[in-house]
Amino acid sequence: MASEYILGISAFYHDSAACLLAGDRIVAAAQEERFTRAKGEARFPSQAISYCLASAGIDSSDLDAVVFYEKPLLKFERLFETYLDIAPRGLMSFSRAGPLWMKERLYVDREIRAGLGGYRGKLLYAEHHESHAASAYYPSPFDEAAILTIDGVGEWATATIGVGRGSTIEILEEMRFPDSLGLLYSAFTYHAGFKVNSGEYKLMGLAPFGKPRYVERIYSDLLKVNDDGSFTLDQRFFDYRGGLRMTTRAFDRLFDGPPRQPEGPITQREMDMARSIQTVCEEIVLRMARYAHRTTRLDKLCLAGGVALNAVANGRLLREGPFSEIWIQPASGDAGGALGAAYVAHHKYFGRQRSARNGRDAMQAALVGPEFSPDDIRSALDSAGARYEQIDESNVADQAAELIAEGKIIGWFEGRMEFGPRALGARSILADARSPEMQSRLNQKIKFREGFRPFAPSVLSERTAEYFELDVESPYMTLVAPIVASRRRGHDSTEGGLARVNELRSEIPAVTHLDYSARVQTVSREQNPMFHGLISSFADRTGCPLVVNTSFNVRGEPIVCTPSDALGCFARTAIDALVIGPFLLRRDMQTGSLDMKATSGAMGLD
């Protein structure tokens, strides 16, 4: 029998996405933001769906089922009960949310069928955390595993513990709204002046610059935490249930002042708040994981949900937790819910068996997005008036490696786009990690972002142990690990805070954070041969088996998707060269020739 085509969809809150399965094989998956160029796009993922269907050469009439990643009526029940519970305080928030619910969120069935051109087939719904759990377990390399999902909130659940065996998933326990680790972390994100649902990783990056001086205050005033990691939040300090703020005036008083104004100066208070909530977050994740281990008596763990993108917590869980192996869904946020929902339908609704994994995951290195032929790329280059040279495809990696070895910053656009928030060697900006100036160059001249923000290394998997205390694969950049002691460089400093950004801390300073850590991507020849070839060629030239890898975008923009997106980013930044398919553009060759009207995107701030 032919495999079913199942389309999974997430939409209407943030990070809308679509995923197409043929059987249990991922045909295509992409976030809508990559097409609309609106970061965190929440609208119905029309363009992502079109891409997924086109990848299989089908239309909506060929689909065996469409699955939405959560149950809107359950979510509305939670919102309505919450507003009633706190009325009249939530009236302003309800007056804003109500019309959205009346227009689209209560009528998801109608929106989906219309968005698919009048689709008349099966339309199914999974619960939010069921979708997260499915995205964590079904593509994982494990035949059975404990499952831990942690995020802000779905319908009612904010965290779940489950177990996956063969083709089935069972949710064993859940934490419920309003007690939420994701919302707690987002409250501190908001108070530190960063944008909720996109600035949490900034808070994580800021944490090493601070001291954990608020930890006891958090435990004594904000929450009561149990040994199993569950907790109760004191809602006097939070306003996310019905207000337009995440925190209240009581929170302001507890943490020495009101929220930092976005784009305002970052003070020691924000650094200390970041360090404190990061410390608490790690402890709660460890407690939850230990309880999951005791409950399931399994030695392998799968993780998903927005909190699973906290790579620092993941690194501690790997080093200190009870599990022998962990696997983290690379698209752990709401976008990955589209993938999980499709898997729920495949295994639960259709009752299909899970394919043997043989110790390998099913994510295809997360390279399941759009790709472009050399003819497509050439057409975009010519339309923009770009000056370029064509490289023999067998020499592309060597040419790129040579440029990086010369100290150049390059845009790297190759093959299928990544699914999830990380650039993994398909839509990346690459540079030499040995350069002491590279972090500030990248932050100031390329990314246009805060100077404290760290960069990640992509390292040959077979040489990881030479630089990092990491003895497992980390292909999706979901683990933070310490730099090995032999590569560190001591630096005595009397300065505090952000003044320490440019300290020389290791042989690879551009990817070494203040605490001698790095968010590591291991690159294998098998999973990503072109990117592995580039790093290998760089190692042949320099002896260093890793490069800086940051996403191909600027602050406030999604990662580039198309050749035109890449050209636009190249034209508006100080990137020295662009390697795009078999073509090379050098900045000094352009002499103002690039036609900005022919490129897409607009540099913005978040």
The per-residue pLDDT for 597 is 47
The per-residue pLDDT for 604 is 36
pLDDT digits (tens, 9 = 90+) for 409-462: 999 999 999 999 999 999 999 999 999 999 999 988 888 888 888 899 999 999
Stated pTM of the model = 0.93
pLDDT digits (tens, 9 = 90+) for 321-341: 999 999 999 999 999 999 999
pLDDT digits (tens, 9 = 90+) for 544-579: 999 999 999 998 899 999 999 999 999 999 999 999
Question: Cβ(238)–Cβ(183) under 8 Å?
Answer: yes
pLDDT digits (tens, 9 = 90+) for 126-156: 999 999 999 999 999 999 999 999 999 999 9
Question: Cβ(304)–Cβ(338) under 8 Å?
Answer: no
pLDDT digits (tens, 9 = 90+) for 269-281: 999 999 999 999 9
What domains, with CATH codes, occur in the chain? 5-127+332-360 (3.30.420.40), 181-327 (3.30.420.40), 374-487+497-598 (3.90.870.20)
Percent over 90 (pLDDT), the chain: 82
| Burial of residue 250, with CB atoms counted within 10 A of its CB: 0-12 exposed, 13-18 middle, 19 or more buried | middle
The per-residue pLDDT for 79 is 74
DSSP letters, 256-294, are TSSPPPTTSPP-HHHHHHHHHHHHHHHHHHHHHHHHHHH
**Which among 14, 129, 191, 513 is annotated as catalytic?**
14
**Residue 30 belongs to what H/E stretch?**
strand 25-31
Question: Cβ(315)–Cβ(456) under 8 Å?
Answer: no
The per-residue pLDDT for 493 is 55
Burial letters 71-105, b for 16+ CB under 10 A, else e: bbebbeebbeebbeebeeebeebbeebeeebeebb
| Burial of residue 494, with CB atoms counted within 10 A of its CB: 0-12 exposed, 13-18 middle, 19 or more buried | exposed
Amino acid occupying residue 45? P
pLDDT digits (tens, 9 = 90+) for 247-276: 999 999 999 999 999 989 999 999 999 999
pLDDT bracket for residue 491 (50, 70, 90):
low
Active-site residue flag, 129? no
Query: Look-up: residue for tokens 């690159």?
Result: 523
The per-residue pLDDT for 77 is 78
Residue 600 has pLDDT above 50, yes or no: no
Residue 211 has pLDDT above 60, yes or no: yes
